Amino acid sequence: MTSPTEIEIRTLRKIKWRFIPLLCCCYFALYLDRLNISVAALTMNEDLGIGPAVFGLIAGVFFWTYSLLEVPSNYVVSRVGVRVWVTRIIISWGLVTMLTAAAQGEASLILLRLLLGAAEAGFAPAMIVLVGLWFPASKRAGAISLMVIAVLLSGFGTPLSAIIMTTMDGLLGMPGWRWMFLVTGLPAVVLGFVFYKVIRNGPEEAGFLDAEEKRWLTTRLAEDDAALGGRAAHPFLRGVLNPRVAYLVVMYILFAFSLFGFQFFVPQMLQQFGMGTVVIGWVAALPPLLALGPMLWWSRHSDRTGERVRHYAAAAATAGVGFLIAGFSMSTPLIAIVGFCIAGIGLYTCIPIQLAIPSTFLTGAALAGGIGAINGFGNIGGYIGPQVTGLIREATGNFTAAVFVLSASIFGAAILAVLFSIWQNRPAPAAQRTVALDPA
**Is residue 324 assigned to a domain?**
yes
**Residue 279 domain flag:** yes
Q: What is the pLDDT of residues 298-323, one digit of tens each?
A: 988 888 888 889 999 999 999 999 99
Question: 157-167 vs 277-284: helix axis angle to the nearest 10?
Answer: 170
Model-level pTM? 0.77
Residues 39/161, Cβ–Cβ less than 8 Å:
yes
Q: Quick check: is 73 in a domain?
A: yes
d(CA 169, CA 155): 22
Could you read off the pLDDT of 85-117 as tens digits, one per residue?
Answer: 999 999 999 999 999 999 999 999 999 999 999
Mean pLDDT of 23-48: 92
Structural domain of 178? 4-426
Has residue 385 been placed in a domain? yes
pLDDT band at 261 (very low <50, low <70, confident <90, very high): very high
**How confident is the model over 76-86, as a mean pLDDT?**
88
Residue 199 φ/ψ, nearest 5 degrees:
-80, 145
Q: According to the model, what pLDDT value does residue 321 have?
A: 98
Question: Which of the 8 DSSP states describes residue 168?
Answer: S
97 burial via Cβ count (<10 Å: 0-12, 13-18, 19+): buried
Is there a domain that residue 140 lies in?
yes
pLDDT at 423: 79
Any idea what the CATH number is for the domain that residue 199 is in?
Answer: 1.20.1250.20
Of 39-43, 79-83, 217-221, 222-226, where does mean pLDDT reach its minimum?
222-226
If pLDDT is split at 50, 70 and 90, which confidence band does 228 have?
low
Assigned domain for 438 exists: no
214 SS3 class: helix
Within a domain: 131: yes
- Looking at the predicted structure, is the pLDDT value of residue 408 above 90? yes
Q: What's the CA gap between 199 and 205, in Å, rounded?
A: 9
Q: Give a yes or no: residue 260 inside a domain.
A: yes
Task: Give pLDDT, residue 229.
Answer: 58
* 347-357 per-position pLDDT tens digit: 999 988 887 88
Per DSSP, helices labelled H in 199-242 are 211-227, 236-241
How many distinct structural domains can be found in the chain? 1
Separation between Cα atoms, residue 15 and residue 344, nearest integer Å: 30
Q: What is the pLDDT of residues 320-342, one digit of tens each?
A: 999 999 999 999 999 999 999 99
What percent of the chain has a predicted confidence (pLDDT) above 90? 52
**pLDDT for res 433:** 42
How high is the pLDDT of residue 337? 96
Using an 8 Å Cβ cutoff, are 268 and 26 in contact? no
* Neighbouring residues of 271: CB distance < 8 A, sequence distance ≥ 6: 42, 280
